[in-house]
Amino acid sequence: MNRLQRALDALVERIDTPAPIVLADVMQDNIDRMQAFAAEHNLDVRPHVKTHKCVEIGRRQVKAGAVGITAGNVGEAEVFAAAGFDDIFIAYPIWTAGTKGPRIRKLAETIRLRIGVDSVAAINALADAMGEDAGRLEVVIEVDCGARRSGAPAEAAGGLAAAARNRGLVPAGVFTYPGHGSASPDARQGAALDQETALTTAVRSLSAAGITPDVVSAGSTPTVEFATGGVITEIRPGEYVFNDLNNTRLGACTEDQIALFVAGTVVSDWVPDQVILDVGTKVLGREGSPERGFGGIAGTNATLSKLNEYHGFLPLPEGFQPGVGTVLPVVPNHVCPVVVNFEEYIVTDSTGTSLERWPVDARGFLN
């Protein structure tokens, strides 16, 4: 029997579905493995908490050796700062609209805070928000390495860092995100090389402006295996803590390293060769396609072919016939969208004998 199904069977009478199940022992192995990888290559780990949004998991990452955490927005940073995390990097080009300016200033008074920037306009807005306390805030210049997301050209990093310095902010270094490494298994190494090239160019640009970076920060889970050389000082993986089907397909993890799945119940079986699960877009998000599916059933080759808000359509391969009431372990394509849909995790281990509930503390904090 599949390991995830075995753990689920031990829990099934004690939980309601749909529910996110975390195998704490597998998760801890993932945390320790990443930390050991970083130590081997003389890198710092700054995990991205957007994947789990959970204070308890963040504490385990820091206890294992992480130098701090990465957040995706001000709200996430506030939740973790209130829980005692004192070294936070918001790896996003924040624009200080509404209440964000005062909130950033307050955070910078109590913790070591770094914020991503990729424009002079954002730098000036942050400096205006910080006022006479500008020297408390560190900024990290975001450069594009081929993902075509946010990020300035690498050769512009020095000019942006100088602009931050001129406004009294502290230019701490550079970062990038090699998102194009998720395109296919073959894309991972090439994206990591693009990342190294862009960061090297950015560091040279900073040096030309008379600035020595304290941090040269790289992501992500699919490419981290290849982020081991050159100027990189820090890695920011997020999904590694749980892993998912996408990372399995990319070769970034094995099936045995998946630490989160969703318990879903078969609620209808009237259509021949298909059942309906209580797992829809409100649980899994919308990542997927009819060709690769919208999530898979652990231990089988069955994949969800379609999702409505509360319905998951599961075509049944030959020899697999779960009846109404059967509870199945659904592995998401992408784990991050799943987390934001639940207030708590059901936490157990690979045997399913223990049961704890951990809050998803930063759920709903999107700005």
Q: For the segment 169-205, what is each residue's pLDDT rounded down to a tens digit?
A: 999 999 999 999 999 999 999 999 999 999 999 999 9
Q: Which amino acid is at 172?
A: A
- Spatial contact of 63 and 85, defined as CB atoms under 8 Å apart: no
194 DSSP 8-state letter: H
Q: Which amino acid is at 133?
A: D
Domain with CATH 3.20.20.10 in the chain: 86-239
Please tell me the pTM assigned to this model. Answer: 0.97
Domain with CATH 2.40.37.20 in the chain: 3-22+252-359
pLDDT band at 1 (very low <50, low <70, confident <90, very high): low
* Percent of the chain scoring above 90 in pLDDT: 98
* Residues paired with 260 in a beta bridge: 22
344 phi and psi angles, rounded to 5 deg: -155, 160
Closest by CA to 346, choosing from 2, 6, 18, 5, is 18
pLDDT band at 295 (very low <50, low <70, confident <90, very high): very high
Torsion over CA: 189, 192, 196, 197 (sign): positive
pLDDT of residue 338: 97
- Spatial contact of 265 and 85, defined as CB atoms under 8 Å apart: no
Residue with tokens 């879903």: 264
Whether 118 has a pLDDT exceeding 90, the answer reads yes
pLDDT of residue 2: 86
CATH superfamily of 3-22+252-359: D-serine dehydratase-like domain (2.40.37.20)
In words, the CATH class of domain 86-239 is: alpha beta
Chain segment 240-293, per-residue pLDDT in tens: 999 999 999 999 999 999 999 999 999 999 999 999 999 999 999 999 998 999
pLDDT of residue 292: 93
Whether 229 has a pLDDT exceeding 90, the answer reads no
How is residue 214 written in tokens?
């304290």
Spatial CB neighbours of 84, under 8 Å, sequence gap ≥ 6: none
Whether 332 has a pLDDT exceeding 80, the answer reads yes
Whether 16 has a pLDDT exceeding 80, the answer reads yes
Q: How many degrees, rounded to 5, is the angle at CA 76 between CA 99 and CA 25?
A: 175
E strand spans, 87-222: 87-93, 112-117, 138-142, 170-175, 215-218
Half-sphere exposure of 300 (CA within 13 A, CB side): 20
| Cα–Cα dist 64/58, whole Å | 10
How is residue 66 written in tokens?
């992480």
